[in-house]
Amino acid sequence: MSERLVVIGNGMAGVRTVEEIISRDPERYEVTIIGKEEYPNYNRIMLSNVLQKKMTVDEIITNPYDWYEENNIALINHDPAVGIDPQGKSVTTESGVRIPYDKLIMATGSHPFILPIPGADKEGVVAFRTIDDTAAMLEAAAKYKKAVVIGGGLLGLEAAKGLQEQGMDVTVVHLAKWLMETQLDEKAGKLLQMELEEQGLKFLMEHATQEILGETRVSGLRFSNETEIETDLVVMSIGIRPAVELAREIGLTVNRGIVVSDFMETSEPDIYSVGECAEHQGVCYGLVAPLFEQGKVLADLLTGKEAKPYQGSTTFTSLKVSGADLYSAGNILNTEDMDSIEAYDSSTKKYKKIFLKDGKIQGIVLYGDTDDGSRYYNMMKKGQPVEDLQSIAVLQAIGEGAGLGDDVLSWEDDETVCGCNGVAKGDILRAIREKGLTSVAEVGKVTKAGTSCGKCKPQVQTLLESELGDAVTTASGICPCTDLNRDQVVTQIYAKHLTSTKEVFEALDWRNEEGCSKCRPAVNFYLNVAWPLEHEDERESRVVNERMHANIQKDGTFSVIPRMRGGQTTPQQLIKLAQVAEKYHVPLVKVTGSQRIGLYGVKKADLPKMWEELDMVSAQAYGKVFRSVKTCVGKSFCRFGTQDTMGLGVKLEERFEYIDTPHKFKVGVSGCPRSCVESAVKDFGIIGVENGFQIMIGGNGGTDLVEAQLLTTAETEEEVIDICGAMLQYYRETGVYGERTAPWIERMGFENVKTVLLDAEKRKDLWEGLNKATEAKGRKDPWGPITKDVDLREKMYTIENPELVGGR
């Protein structure tokens, strides 16, 4: 017969412990969960998104009622536990229900701290802790105009921003000198305040609230300096207190929280505690990651597994407010005996400070650019020496956007990707491989990665892409962040003149205010097409290969493939390639399928120096762009050749290279109908014949083989280039990000595409848009800021066709 397990608390810590137990031994216990609220288990971290109306209550439910039924769990909710009998081993609820237990887990959580001041019990004074609190705040925002949030910590700021977005005039009252003083140093706290003030929030710093004014409902606040402020709503967000009343009543050892051992045992046999109510080695944790770590230890213990003792947690914090990216981890307060590396870019308001002791990271503060947060966090957790983390490395990292998304593939399998849920890279990869997962949502369901704060979803997507390639993406190009399809998004970009991804996400009510790794590249592309001269291409929105300007391989190394227009090279280039390959111990030098020479197995750190020494530009074999042109030798050498294929191939590359497209765009130029370069399976295929060039479009030589369709026969090279440019722009303007030309033509209709491309006036109109895109490329670095070395940058950006890229 199964043992009876009772859990007091239907929150994140208690239910996660039950999930861990079920995953280890689903038949071990007959489980009953007792909850105070009327809802099933939900993600409390996402309440700020509900307040900001970016998510609904249903969307933050982690375990719906069906989950309890499927796992034979008895849920008693909206009926809190009010008594425990340790001798008789039973729990009594408020309604008088008595539940016997063999093992009891106390996951009672915490209470919001309410200032003990006159007026704290008035109508219109609320906490920000539960779904009901959030509903009360939204109801008040619909009726009233002014709100005060007492507390400038994480939740207080998220509450303030949410109320402001509902139209309220919001003031944050904070006792300390700067915001989030327990997670941020003064510099980062002041930067955060400046950003939020620019967004419209008001602040009263170093103010102590003395009294809440009003008759039955709040009308204002009075401070200790005798000043006052009017308000219709007061949100208390100044901390939490562990809920230990039941534990204290039955004589458990209680300090601030319920005292537990390294195995989450209380002072009473068969009673355990996890979560915010538990105190381990003098510490009570209020963040989700430690609660989940505790749950895993207890699950091992209760299922007879070899349990590793809980050793405490290294915590981190991030803020879910648009435009205010911050990350804090470890010890950033008691730093007198530590060294520090600090970098600040005043032009972009990006700030980084790393605290070090004995060559190891002890604390992290990042503001404005948090991409490196998880990388530093993993180094800190593992106690990894950081001799190579010099000041210049931190300075160079600011603004480069190279952060975690670039590095996650080269991490060790035991490094943490999802800090909230303690999910390592290896856990995610094993789940993808063993269970055939193809989406971030599926990975989250199996591993929990990305299901709490959601910050790690881009890294999960990167791991999926590394395992599955194109199979992980969908043709829609838009993701669960929005219900809008491609056409609706593009229409609004034009109608509202939106010129950045941030503007798109805000104006179109994106659920995730920062987007995700699917929609960011798509929206960035649509903006490039819509406003080529206004939109600043966002390197951080590009996929990892495009940011690194090299294809990442399965072992975390890269392939370097220089551009060889038309497949042609010179003895001098070959000598350089050989010298560089030998100098950097490149394990594989190979002729690629696109008639280029690739260097495979290159270390990330060697990329800038290798490009400098090669003095060549990238073939962009990694990008959703106009790719290199594959050619045969043509009539210059072949006895069957009818046209100068190599010359035409070079002209096409010089004219269209670096132009973004919805997906890769491949071209083949064959000198005769023998088609040695397989022109019939290219996006734009050209076959030389006696009277000109046959043009075929929409071919695909990939896993879904599609034969190109004959468009027309052009008489001259100029006509071929004209039609190719028009097709590129038509594809850019109407294609869905991630959609190849074959499905694009099927969707648009071949006859329709043919009509457009063979109409001289329509081609002229399309070329106007293409010329703007070319002009924009000429104004911008085609590769982005790979290095701060100016001389190296100039060499890396050297292009043989100066009129194409503004003479660079």
The single-letter code of the amino acid at 320 is K
Q: Please tell me whether residue 350 adopts helix, strand or coil conformation.
A: strand
> Rounded distance, CA 105 to CA 101, Å?
10
* 479 belongs to an annotated ligand binding site: no
Q: Which residues pair with 356 in a beta bridge?
A: 339, 361
Contacts with 489 (C-beta within 8 Å, 6 or more apart), sequence order: 478, 482, 504, 508, 523, 526
Residue count of the chain: 808
SS3 content of the chain, % helix, strand, coil (to 5): 35, 20, 40
Radius of gyration over every alpha carbon of the chain, rounded to an integer in angstroms:
30
On whether the CB atoms of residues 640 and 670 are closer than 8 A, the answer is no
Q: What are phi and psi of 773, to 5 degrees?
A: -65, -40
Q: Which single residue is written with the structure tokens 């869905």? A: 736
597 and 618 Cβ atoms separated by less than 8 Å: no
In contact, 457 and 517? CB cutoff 8 Å = yes
- Beta-bridged to residue 341, according to DSSP, are 354
**Cβ neighbour number for residue 309 with a 10 Å cutoff:** 11
HSE toward the beta carbon, residue 602, CA cutoff 13 A: 27
Question: In what helix (H) or strand (E) does residue 438 lie, and over which residues does it extend?
Answer: none
The three-class DSSP label of residue 21 is helix
Q: How many beta carbons lie within 10 A of that of residue 557, not counting itself?
A: 20
Partners of residue 5 on adjacent β-strands: 31, 103
Say if residues 667 and 651 touch (Cβ distance below 8 Å).
no
Q: Of 483, 479, 426, nearest to 454 (Cα)? A: 479
> How deeply is 470 buried, as exposed, middle or buried, from its count of CB atoms within 10 A (0-12, 13-18, 19+)?
middle
Q: Report yes or no: 752 and 689 within 8 Å, Cβ to Cβ.
A: no
Q: How many CA atoms lie within 13 A of 782 on its CB side?
A: 30
Determine contact, residues 538/502, Cβ cutoff 8 Å.
no
The answer on whether 676 is annotated among ligand-binding residues is yes
Contacts 24+ apart (CB under 8 A), 259-263: 262/297, 262/309, 262/310, 262/311, 263/297, 263/298, 263/301, 263/307, 263/309, 263/310
CB 681 within 8 A of CB 751: no
Taking each helix axis from N to C end, the angle separating 154-165 and 131-143, rounded to the nearest 10 degrees, works out to 40
Helices (H), 74-113: none
- Are 154 and 319 in contact by the 8 Å Cβ rule? The answer is yes
Residues paired with residue 217 on neighbouring β-strands, in sequence order: 123
- Greatest Cα-to-Cα distance within the chain, rounded to the nearest angstrom: 99
> How far is 329 from 332, CA to CA, in rounded Å?
8
Q: What is the DSSP letter of 542?
A: S
Q: CA–CA separation, 793 vs 528, rounded Å?
A: 23
Strands 103-106 and 271-273: parallel
Write out the DSSP string of 577-613.
Answer: HHHHHHHTT-SEEEE-TTS-EEEEEE-GGGHHHHHHH
**672 labelled binding-site residue:** yes
Is residue 10 within 8 A of residue 19, CB to CB? The reply is: no
Is 632 marked within a binding site? yes
Beta bridge partners of 7: 33, 105
List the binding residues: 632, 638, 672, 676
List the binding residues for siroheme: 676
List the binding residues for [4Fe-4S] cluster: 632, 638, 672, 676
